[in-house]
Amino acid sequence: MSAYETNSYHNIFKEYGYSDEEIEKRLNGICNTIFYGNESERLYHPVGDDMAYFVDTGNNDARTEGMSYAMMMCVQRNMKEEFDRLWKWAKTYMYMDEGLNKGYFAWSVKLNGEKNAYGPAPDGEEYFAMALFFAANRWGNGEGIFNYSKEAKELLHECVHKGEKEPGAPMWEPSNKLIKFVPNLDFTDPSYHLPHFYELFSLWCNEEDREFWKEAAQCSREYLKKACHPITGLAPEYSKYDGVPCNSPWDKGHHERYYSDAYRVAANLGLSYEWFENSEWECECADKIQTFFCETVKGKADLVYEIDGTIIEEKALHPVAIIATNAMASLASKGKYRKECVDLFWDTPLRIGERRYYDNCLYLFAFLALSGNYRIWK
């Protein structure tokens, strides 16, 4: 039975012989390093008496991705003060209260609060909403912006209905209920698809949108079956709505490849199965991904790949993230490489250096999930 039904979460580390004491000690150490480590370690930075930002050290900015990730980390670890500081900074400096994207959050903001862009990134909005619902359920609603569930409902309303009565575009494509890469473009990012979040949105959102989110969960699960390669399980960074890999219209990158964003798909499959056990395909795909890294490219598991497994002789920008997300896939995997991926992750330290932000965010999520601490707060 699923964690949603039982309120019981698998502790994969304990299953493989790690003790409760060492697991909790390690988890506390990871959180303390990321939130309160020295200047070369931490990502969390308090501002004044009641705000804080979470920095992308590779780009020296604050992003809705990182801010919403950090809020999710805080609600999972019962860090209410840090959660409220982050949320107030996001609402103060990232929220857009006018213009075409009114009601959304600017995806990138300078550390002094100045917006780098006036466009949103939908993965930030979905994590903000989920973290806010969990905060409401764990701590109770407060007043103003700390009426967490009200804020979450209003944000999801914008995501679904924007453009119906005023200029702008929704974050989910109305015709197929799939999340967009950005609201005004017609393609998607496989790693943005979080059907396990949408299942919960359907329970807690405005009454009028509950059916939408139920359908969105199913549509995303069906989409992922198309986007993930049938042999390797790998997904591209970007794809068309039919799952066919695509590039972006504004740069000459190779977003059709298995690269940074795409690593999150393995982690999402694991958490989705842990929470709801809705699709055995999630298990099959997780097995394929772990087999690819532990067998097909063993010894070359830190490079760039086409989704069919073709090796691009180029070092991955975020190698620790690959290890972390492959391990988190063990929540769904039933294959022979499940333990190997978990043990490799346990033996891998947090990343150091200027590119540590993305890797260490996914590292903490993986550790939370594999220790049974990435929970649904009802």
The CATH number for 283's domain is 1.50.10.10
- Nearest-angstrom CA–CA distance, 338 and 12: 10
Q: What is the chain's mean pLDDT, rounded?
A: 98
Instruction: Please check whether residue 214 lies inside any domain of the structure.
Output: no
Judged against a pLDDT cut of 80, whether residue 371 lies above it is answered with yes
> Residue 330's Cα: distance from chain center in Å?
17
Q: Is 363 within a domain?
A: yes
* Average pLDDT score over residue span 347-370: 98
Q: Is 65 a catalytic residue?
A: yes
Burial class (CB in 10 A: 0-12, 13-18, 19+), 167: exposed
212 found inside a domain: no
Question: Is residue 64 helix, strand or coil?
Answer: helix
| 159 occurs within a structural domain | no
Is residue 348, in this structure, part of any structural domain at all? yes
Residue given tokens 């699960």 in the structure block? 221
Cβ–Cβ < 8 Å for 281, 223:
no
Whether 362 is covered by a domain: the verdict is yes
Q: Number of H helices and number of E strands within the chain?
A: 14, 8
The catalytic residue among 82, 158, 261, 284 is 261
Q: How large a percentage of the chain has pLDDT more than 90? A: 98
pLDDT for 321-350, tens place per residue?
Answer: 999 999 999 999 999 999 999 999 999 999
* Total domains present in the chain: 1
Residue 143, in any domain of the structure: no
What is the rounded average pLDDT of the residues 302-320? 97
Q: Residue 31: which domain range?
A: 1-41+228-378
pLDDT tens track for 1-22: 999 999 999 999 999 999 999 9
Work out the angle between the directed axes of helices 210-227 and 280-291 (0-180°, nearest 10): 30
Is it the case that residue 250 has pLDDT exceeding 90?
A: no
Q: Cα(151)–Cα(139) distance, rounded to whole angstroms?
A: 15
Given the residues 56, 61, 65, 173, the one annotated as active site: 65
Does the pLDDT at position 252 exceed 80? no
The reply to whether 50 belongs to the active site is no
* Burial zone of 159 (CB within 10 Å; 0-12 exposed, 13-18 middle, 19+ buried): buried
For residue 134, is it within any domain?
Answer: no
Q: pLDDT band at residue 251, thresholds of 50, 70 and 90?
A: confident
